[in-house]
Amino acid sequence: MVLQTIYIVRHGLFNQFRSNWVVDPATGEYSATVKSPTNIPSDPALASYGVSQATQLGSHLASVSPKVDVIYSSPFYRCIQTLVPFTDSLASAGKVTVHVEPGLGEFYGLARFDHPSPASIEVLNEHFKHLHAEKDPIIVPSSKGESIPGLHDRVAYCLHELIARLDRDPAGPKTLLICTHAAGMICMGRALTGRMPNDEGEEDFKCFTCAFSKFTRKESASEESKEVESWRADDAETVPSVDWQGGRGVGGGWTCEVNGDCSFLENGEERGWDFNIEKNEFTQVKLDDSNGGLNTADA
């Protein structure tokens, strides 16, 4: 067992309003009010305010102890962009790599049409430095979206495999940094601690824009991660089962030391999110279906 600490952050603000893109529920066609750098409507860049938040987050990450050894990110533009101030500071002192993993990516609710996929690593490399993507990702979310329980299962499986990978790494990384989205940040807290509330909408793990959380591995964690079946691209809808609930947690279990801290941000906590918002939006899909459009809030 090598990995001891996990830092999780959410991306910065990417628009001044709650909704940034629209999907027509009749056709599944996405459109955006502001052009995306990757030409994917649901893949916006940070607003100037979000860039400022990312700079403040970068300064905070440079001061944390223990220092960051390995960096992973959702493949969506706003997450990678949020890490840029921090990774640029690391690059000035030596080599840095941001590992891009689809299993840490955005949450889309279940739909009868295909949701947008994130940009390829080739496209992302046109915009960012220091990126790396494995040929075979840990897991790729279904193009038809996920239920809320399905999202928890996907995130738990991804973390289980990622922790096991880093435990085996001969370089011996002790600290992992992940940049993700609001829904993912909540699910990661639950998967690491093994605490799944009866009400999915319970406000347990905070996920404000550029919020920072810290998890430390339990001393009682097993030296070896439990073996589970591997996710297969030819059976993409099936997420291998990880026994993480009931307080067990992935990778032997983790303790939440810092929960969604924003004290280092000039304006503190902003733009929180929870699964009740997602449930309300799903209801609105049904109400707006005949109107030909749905505003989609960020997760």
Interval 37-54: pLDDT, tens: 999 988 999 999 999 999
Judged by average pLDDT, the poorest of 84-98, 159-173, 179-193, 219-233 is 219-233
Q: What three-state secondary structure class fits 237?
A: coil
Closest CA to 249 of 288, 205, 291: 205
Find the mean pLDDT for residues 60-80.
Answer: 98
Residues 251, 289: Cα–Cα separation, whole Å = 42
Is residue 203 predicted with pLDDT exceeding 70? yes
Per-residue model confidence (pLDDT) at position 31: 65
Find the mean pLDDT for residues 195-211.
Answer: 96
Per-residue model confidence (pLDDT) at position 224: 53
Per-residue model confidence (pLDDT) at position 120: 97
Is residue 189 predicted with pLDDT exceeding 80? yes
Q: What is the CATH number of the domain that holds 175?
A: 3.40.50.1240
Residues 96, 28: Cα–Cα separation, whole Å = 38
Q: Which residue has the tokens 């509330």?
A: 197
Q: What three-state secondary structure class fits 178?
A: strand
List Cα–Cα distances, 153 to 39, 149, 228, 260, in angstroms: 30, 6, 13, 22
Please report which helix (H) or strand (E) contains residue 61, including its range: helix 48-63
Q: How many CB atoms lie within 10 A of CB 23?
A: 22
Per-residue model confidence (pLDDT) at position 23: 72
Range of the domain at 105: 5-297
Q: Give the whole-number percent of the chain exceeding pLDDT 70.
A: 85
The number of folded domains in the chain is 1
250: phi then psi, degrees, rounded to nearest 5? -75, 155
